[in-house]
């Protein structure tokens, strides 16, 4: 019952977020974010190669990327 | 070959995940072609890599990308000095990717094939990326499945005799979010859970154990690994546009796995363009991990426990990287079908320090009893040179 209540509450929060949040950085204010120097990873092959070098010599792996291009500039 | 078993399967998965991160919802990236050359030198190993990538949009909603990568390894690593033959190997990796954009969602599917004579790896991956909240937020979800066939070369570098030892499977689940916080600041978080099963050991590495019957005072034996392995990594990062035209990036990653390895990674990156012709980039990175719970540099006897490893990747270690990158943009007004082009040189210097992995170069010298040899450490240089054309 408690889990169900939490689920309903979370669903309401998500739905209200979809309808209520207004972008606080307007599209015309994103020129700096659209600059290529702000890309998480400008060169895919190069980034993958450095990951490869590290992963082959360390015990750790994964989660090295930026999620999507993501600046929402275009 | 020695350092490259297990590694390639991982690399394939990472490459698959890279496709996840390089995808932007809302609009597909420009068409481009890259010619890439790399060289790694360190720890007695020389590895050269050559790659070509072509990416083409067939409509505004549909793009295809193909990548061919070949790397060649030669030299004599610290493992080779103790037991194996001269290393000379080659790996070929082919990747095909399709992307489809629908409204604010990008769907990406890819297939990666990696082949060397004693290791075959195939990865299929799928991801979707969604822009939301007025395009302030991008959420990405990804899944990749890898199947590996693991072998060992019982012959020589020039006349290989491959003994196929088993298979391994890897499932990778990733989730990430990128968030615009201000007009100068963007932040991101990435979660990646990877589960392996099957033959997970590196057949070219051995444990050593105290053996009074041996003249050296120790003997070598095969590693014994668990047949499952699950890891969780979380990375947070932020990128800030400075008051002048430059960018500062900071990131931290926490890693933990079921073998007892905990790793922490810190990285700082500064990017500084000059007009629209040059981009200079400098970075520092520090990484530190503890040892796996079944790792030992020297076991008291054999078998001393159910699982035993002496793979240097599972030792306690730290490393520090200092790197720089210069990008030169040319053809600013385009030429024929090309809109612009860039030439990039990237170099990194890495210092590896092992905290409980000893230098086998000193094996058998009377002044160094087993377990008292100097700790292993080495420097590596990684260079990359590539040209990108956009059309």
Domain boundaries, chain B: 2-390
Of B271, B346, B350, the CB nearest to A46: B346
Question: For residue A10, which phi and psi values (nearest 5 degrees)?
Answer: -65, -40
CA distance B372 to chain A (A): 23
* Interface subset of B 113-152, CB within 8 angstroms of A: 129, 131-140
B2-390 classified as CATH 3.40.605.10 = no
Report in angstroms the alpha-carbon separations of B165 from B1, B37, B75, B82: 15, 33, 24, 22
Per the listing, tokens 């390895």 go with: B261
Q: What is the pTM of this model?
A: 0.87
Q: What is the mean pLDDT of chain B?
A: 89
Are B344 and A43 an interchain contact pair (Cβ–Cβ within 8 Å)? yes
- In a 10 Å sphere around its CB, with 0-12 CB exposed, 13-18 middle and 19+ buried, how is residue A44 labelled? buried
**Model ipTM?**
0.85
Instruction: Please choose, from the candidates B331, B299, B315, the residue with its C-alpha nearest in 3D space to the C-alpha of residue B375.
Output: B315
Query: pLDDT digit string (tens) for B330-349?
Result: 988 888 888 999 999 999 99
Supply the DSSP symbol for B248: E
The percent of residues in chain B predicted with pLDDT above 70, rounded, is: 89
pLDDT of residue B154: 83
User: Which pLDDT band holds residue B17 (cuts at 50, 70, 90)?
Assistant: very low
Q: Mean pLDDT over residues B227-248, rounded? A: 97
Q: Which of residues 201 through 220 in chain B touch A, CB cutoff 8 A?
A: none
Query: Average pLDDT in the A35-56 region?
Result: 89
> How many Å separate Cα B374 from the centre of its chain?
28
What average pLDDT does range B359-378 have in this prediction?
82
pLDDT at B279: 96
User: What confidence score (pLDDT) does residue B66 get?
Assistant: 96
Task: Write down the domain spans for chain A.
Answer: 25-58
Task: Evaluate if residue B10 carries a pLDDT over 90.
Answer: no
Residue A11: predicted pLDDT: 62
């Amino acid at each position: 019952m408690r889990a169900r209540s939490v689920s309903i509450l979370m669903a309401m929060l998500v739905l209200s977020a979809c309808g209520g949040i207004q972008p606080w950085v307007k599209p015309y204010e994103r020129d700096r974010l659209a600059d290529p120097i702000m890309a998480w990873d400008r060169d895919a092959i190069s980034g993958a190669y450095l990951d490869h070098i590290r992963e082959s010599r360390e015990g750790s792996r994964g989660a090295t990327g930026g999620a999507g291009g993501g600046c929402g500039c275009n | 070959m020695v350092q490259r078993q297990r590694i390639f399967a991982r690399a394939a998965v990472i490459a698959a995940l890279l496709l996840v991160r390089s995808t932007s919802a809302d609009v597909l990236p420009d068409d481009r072609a890259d010619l890439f050359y790399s060289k790694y030198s360190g720890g007695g190993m020389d590895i050269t890599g050559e790659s070509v990538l072509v990416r083409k949009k067939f409509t505004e909603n549909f793009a295809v990308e193909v990548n061919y990568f070949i790397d060649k390894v030669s030299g004599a690593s610290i493992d080779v000095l103790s037991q194996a033959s001269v290393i000379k190997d080659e790996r070929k990796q082919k990747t095909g990717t399709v992307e489809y954009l629908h409204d604010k969602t990008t769907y990406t599917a890819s297939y990666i094939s990696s082949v060397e004579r004693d290791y075959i790896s195939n990865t299929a991956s799928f991801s979707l990326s969604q822009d939301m909240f007025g395009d302030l937020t991008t959420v990405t979800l990804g899944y990749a499945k890898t199947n590996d066939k693991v072998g060992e070369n019982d012959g020589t570098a020039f006349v290989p005799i491959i003994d196929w030892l088993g298979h391994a499977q890897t499932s990778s689940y990733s989730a990430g979010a990128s968030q615009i916080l201000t007009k100068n600041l963007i932040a991101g978080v990435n979660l990646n859970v990877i589960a392996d099963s099957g033959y997970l050991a590196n057949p070219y590495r051995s444990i050593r154990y105290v053996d009074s019957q041996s003249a050296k005072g120790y003997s070598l034996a095969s590693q014994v690994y668990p047949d499952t392995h699950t890891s969780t990594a979380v990375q947070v990062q932020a990128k800030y546009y400075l008051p002048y035209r430059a960018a500062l990036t900071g990131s931290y990653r926490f890693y933990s796995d079921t073998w007892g390895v905990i790793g922490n990674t810190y990285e700082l990156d500064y990017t500084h363009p000059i007009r629209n012709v040059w981009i200079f980039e400098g970075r520092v990175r520090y990484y530190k991990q503890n040892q796996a719970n079944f790792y030992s540099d020297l076991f008291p006897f054999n078998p001393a426990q159910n699982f035993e490893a002496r793979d240097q990747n599972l030792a306690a270690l730290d490393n520090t990287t200092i790197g720089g990158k210069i990008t030169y943009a040319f053809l600013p007004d385009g030429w024929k079908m090309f809109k612009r082009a860039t030439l990039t040189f990237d170099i990194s210097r890495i210092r590896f320090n092992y905290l409980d992995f000893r230098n086998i170069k000193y094996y058998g010298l009377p002044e160094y009893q087993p377990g008292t040899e100097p700790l292993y450490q080495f420097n590596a240089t990684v260079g990359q040179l590539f040209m990108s054309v956009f059309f």
